[in-house]
Amino acid sequence: MKITQAFTFEAAHRLPNVPQTHRCFRMHGHSYRVELVLDGDVDPHTGFVVDFFDVEAAFGPVLKRLDHYCLNEIEGLENPTAEHIAIWIWERTKPLLAQLATVRVFETPLSWAEYEGR
Ligand SMILES: Nc1nc2c(c(=O)[nH]1)N=C([C@H](O)[C@H](O)COP(=O)(O)OP(=O)(O)OP(=O)(O)O)CN2
Ligand SMILES: [Zn+2]
């Protein structure tokens, strides 16, 4: 069984490795959406794969490190593409949530990166 919990954060970024003519070379902001997918068995007593409250408690501190920051200034996010943000979140969240199966990072409602640990 898979469950998904969504979170949002606001952040600024610029992409340093695109051509200077690319509009993302300039500093700008996004309202990011993060989806964490957890995969596991449904506990017969609780009826949960993982309690959403426990997901929130584990991921909250990771999210706080992104919300209302300039992502380029965060160690490991010097080139803060959606792909790199998804990997960054995975590496910090997987040790806290063993059932984590997928991290999705939406830059816009229509464009996102998805990481499953490889
Ligand atoms: N593979 C990727 N491509 C792009 C990424 C990325 O992370 N991975 N990021 C960007 C920029 O961050 C860019 O800001 C994307 O957002 P935006 O320009 O707002 O996207 P839209 O094209 O949907 O904007 P509209 O204004 O709605 O046209 C670019 N590429
Ligand atoms: Zn952008």
Residue 115 to residue 90: CA distance in whole angstroms: 8
Q: Residues 69-106: pLDDT tens digits? A: 999 999 999 999 999 999 999 999 999 999 999 999 99
Q: Is 68 designated active site?
A: yes
Element (H, E) at 61: helix 52-64
Q: Is 84 helix (H, G, I), strand (E, B) or coil?
A: helix
Which pLDDT band, with edges at 50, 70 and 90, does 38 fall under?
very high
**Mean pLDDT score, 1-18:** 98
Structure tokens at 3: 């469950």
Fold (CATH) for 50-98+109-117: Tetrahydropterin Synthase; Chain A (3.30.479)
pLDDT given at position 49:
98
pLDDT given at position 11:
98
pTM: 0.96
Q: Is 84 designated active site?
A: no
The domain spans of the chain are 50-98+109-117
- Spatial contact of 25 and 51, defined as CB atoms under 8 Å apart: no
ipTM, two decimals, is: 0.91
Atom of ligand 1 nearest to the CA of 113: 8
What percent of the chain is predicted at pLDDT more than 70? Answer: 100
Instruction: Indicate the average pLDDT of the chain.
Output: 98
Tokens 């003519």 correspond to what residue? 21
Atom of ligand 1 nearest to the CA of 110: 23
